[in-house]
Copies of this chain bind each other. A is one copy, B any other.
Amino acid sequence: MTVKQWLTEDFEAGDLPLYCGETLRSARLHYHQIGELNAPKDNLILLPTYYGGAATGNHPWVGRNSPLDPDEYCIVIPSLLGAGESSSPSNTPGEQAGPGFPTVSLYDNVMLQKRLVDEVFGGASIALVMGWSMGGMQALQWGCLFPQQVRSVLATCCTARCYPHNQVFLEGVKAALTCDQNFQGGHYQNPPEHGLKAFGRVYAGWAYSQAFFRHELWRSLGFNSIEALLQFWEQDHLTQDANNLLTVLDTWQRGNISDNPVFKGNYNSALNAITMPTRVMPSTTDLYFTAEDARQDAHQMPGAAFDALTSDWGHIAGGAGREPQSHQKILAAAQSLLPEIEP
């Protein structure tokens, strides 16, 4: 009995027409895979990534002690366009480099992932598509676009569109980043370090909740002070590329599962198309993907159960390996959603 290893792959998609009308040249979808597709091609699990996350950020969901068991399932983590692993401002040559990178939508990401599933995984039936935050938005986009191919959906700390207050929060972090003169409209030679740090520092107030700070839960992350936590956020953002951050932020801010040629902006119609067993799991203390908005969305999805994460961790609750209690609750939900499959 061998322990399965993660494979790191790239799907070269060629020139990719985007919803905005532009074409992304030599598009590349980076993904991680563990486990193999079975003969009936019905054991695929997709774990799309979250804002600021790399594919490895979803690894903690997976393992032999998890319902997401690579001995049973073929588990694939597709990386977001713009996030630094798939085609992004930071790794694209020529005129689409940096600030020349085109506008990418939620729909573009999912349609590219659809090509991956069809061309690399033989049009597999998807046992579960599951994600946190923007990963959850992608999961819901998958559900409404491909109800015949997606057998279940698990979406944590997200909504099916970016609601207005969430958009305003994002305007704030964007303003904090771009007010650094070194940003130079994206044409920076050196990273806009003040802006990246400000971005991280503003973001930290939104990512957790009032209760997280009230109860000093940052101590459980190994920090001795709030300032140490904020400095961690600064340092984490110094490792990110500013144009990448803004590209994916734009995808998020415009995110709407009905904003595409299929649903033509009819939001209820898109929600109504989510007919497979679905779990919508916001955090009760999430400040931007609020439980109230998620509840409204879930009520319009015929297949959905609403099951909030009662947590003081705010938005962070739904991330892989972040808060132990929510992590376990999410895995239990995944277990209940995963259909029996042939090994």
Contacts and interface: CB of A to CB of B under 8 A. Distances in A.
A204 B171 CA distance: 10
Contacts of A210: 163, 165, 287-288, 290, 292-293
5 contacts: A165-B212, A172-B202, A175-B202, A181-B182, A287-B287
Given A167-B213, A172-B201, A176-B202, 19 more contacts: A163-B214, A164-B213, A164-B226, A165-B210, A168-B226, A172-B172, A172-B204, A175-B197, A175-B198, A176-B176, A176-B179, A178-B194, A179-B179, A179-B194, A179-B197, A180-B181, A181-B194, A210-B288, A214-B293
B209 A165 contact: yes
A265 interface: no
A169 B205 contact: yes
A164 B214 contact: yes
Interface string A184-213: 000000000011011001111110111111
Interface residues of A, number: 41
Nearest to A163: B214
A175 B201 contact: yes
A88 to B, nearest CB: 23
Copies of the polypeptide in the assembly: 2
Contacts of A216: 164
A230 interface: yes
A50 to B, nearest CB: 20
A205 B290 contact: no
A77 B160 CA distance: 47
Contacts of A176: 172, 175-176, 179, 198, 202
Interface string A102-134: 000000000000000000000000000000000
Interface in A198-249: 198, 201-206, 208-214, 216, 226, 230
